Chains A and B, each alone.
Chain A
Amino acid sequence: MAETKTKAKVKVKSGSEVGGEKKWKDLEIGFYITEPGSSVRFRTGDWRSRRPIFDFNKCNKCTLCYYFCPEGCIAQNKEGYFEADLYYCKGCGICDEECPKDAISMAEEE
């Protein structure tokens, strides 16, 4: 996969790496998860088959993509334009669907 811009502070891990090596005796009682917020490490971006491309020439900073994203992974960058965090982005295409300026398009993931 091409390099992704990511806000995650922890090393990249795909789903099967997060716990895939655990033996049954290593599991917590009732397989409870005792570390709060651990899902932040779960690389849901692994799941996508297409990725959003943001054209900042067309973007008018209306914030609609930010609100519509079901993952909440679209945020404003330094210049004030909006783009997705590809660590989490699942490629659903709702941002493309909702963008009123046609500034977002979906491209096949390599």
Chain B
Amino acid sequence: MAKRAGIEVSVAVAEAARLADADVIAAYPITPQTHIVEHLAELVADGDLKASYIPVESEHSAMSACLGSSAVGARTFTATASQGLELMHEVLYVASALRLPIVMAVANRALSAPISIWGDHSDAMAVRDTGWIQMFVENGQEAVDNVICAFRIGEDSRVLLPVMIHLDGFSLTHMIEPILLPEEDEVRKFVPPFRPPLSLNPEKPVTMGAFGPPFIYTEAKWAQQENLRAAREVILENWQDFGKAFGRYYSPVESYHSEKAKVLLLTMGSFSETAMTAIDKMREEGKDVGLIKLRLWRPFPFEEFRRAVKDAEVLIVLDRAMSFGGPGGPVCSEVKAALYKEDKRPKVVGFVGGLGGRDISMSGFEDMINRGAEIARAGDGREFEIFEVRE
């Protein structure tokens, strides 16, 4: 019987990696992910997890070591955040291109400068195009469940791609939440052993990461793109299987009171929970509002997203990151692009807020929705709105 306990989310993420029987952990500590890697180190040292723990000298080395371990067929896990994610940036592209199903928890944290240890999505957005499967979780339970799913999805022979699980730094990682940790034998039954079709093996040598001159690079990249797109089916299938096994069902886009609502808000990550309370309050007041929670970020769930917003008049998008000198938040840009060819589409208003760990309260979300609806009514103003800046 699964046990529900008050656990710090970071520790629960580490426990999820233990339940999934990770073989190699190569990691470097960085706030706010440290409790994940520290707890894993303890588990390995105490013999509770039979794995190789490689305490590398930097995040660049961490991802490089993960490449190697995944390439020989070891179930590989790591975690990082912010500057650490950026330090390993160049290696991320290699992991996805070489189809190595590494699972990485990213404790979303703002990028320097100025130095911030607090949460926002700028680190996640910086690695948007790296070819990894990416999901944003909104609470500790989702984090645990999706770390477990990540191994099953990534290592599926139809996918063979690395997976990032994004969870908000501090507002998730450092919270003690009531989490149901599945039983070890249930997880072992759910996640089969990792059997890559090809791996580094002296008895059957392969070359991974050879030179790709102009005559072949395009084909290689298109193969990668088609593969990431096709992974969507396996992700959906996997979430169905998880639901059947554990009773909790996940979907790429979750609608909260949004079926017929005229004004929709879109959020990702832990802000979704605060936003839900704002929606509840506003609906009690008779306002026709709803929430769209985007969980699957890559591959972008075009179908589910378009379906979720098709009846709305206004769609307000909250980004926790900014593309300087551009059209505002990356999520809002993608939302607009996804709706560009639709005959009927809502007016999109982009807000950038919650940067560097700044919280948005329930009343903050009410303000955002009200202002967003007003801006949509008044017509085109600025490219995007910056939320709650002192001017």
Q: Which residues of A contact B (CB under 8 A)?
A: 15-16, 19-20, 22-25, 27-34, 36, 38
Contact = CB atoms under 8 A, between A and B. Distances in A.
B219 A23 contact: yes
Contact of B213 (A15, A24, A38): A15
Nearest to A34: B206
What are the 5 closest A-B residue pairs judged by CB atoms, nearest first?
A: A30-B99, A24-B219, A33-B207, A36-B205, A20-B215
A32 B212 contact: no
A16 B219 CA distance: 14
Interface string B260-300: 00000000000000000000000000000000000000000
A23 B219 CA distance: 7
Contacts of B210: 31, 33
Contact of B206 (A20, A25, A32): A32
A28 B215 CA distance: 16
Nearest to B160: A29
Contacts of A27: 216, 219-220, 223
Contacts of B98: 30, 32
B207 A24 contact: no
B230 interface: no
Contacts of B216: 19-20, 22, 27, 31
A19 B215 contact: yes
A24 B99 contact: no
Q: Interface residues of B: mostly helix, strand, loop or mixed?
A: loop
A31 B205 CA distance: 14
A19 B216 CA distance: 7
B198 A29 contact: yes
A38 to B, nearest CB: 8
Contact of B197 (A15, A24, A29): A29
Interface of B: 97-100, 160, 197-198, 205-208, 210, 212-213, 215-216, 218-220, 222-223, 226
A33 B220 contact: no
A22 B213 CA distance: 13
Contact of B99 (A22, A23, A29, A36): A29
A30 B219 contact: no
Contacts of A34: 198, 206
B279 to A, nearest CB: 43
A34 B212 CA distance: 15
12 contacts: A16-B213, A19-B215, A23-B219, A24-B226, A25-B223, A28-B198, A29-B160, A30-B99, A32-B198, A33-B206, A33-B210, A36-B206
A33 B209 CA distance: 9
A86 to B, nearest CB: 21
A29 B197 CA distance: 9
B206 A24 contact: no
Given A15-B213, A19-B216, A20-B215, A31 B223 contact: yes
A38 B211 CA distance: 12
A29 to B, nearest CB: 5
A27 B99 CA distance: 13
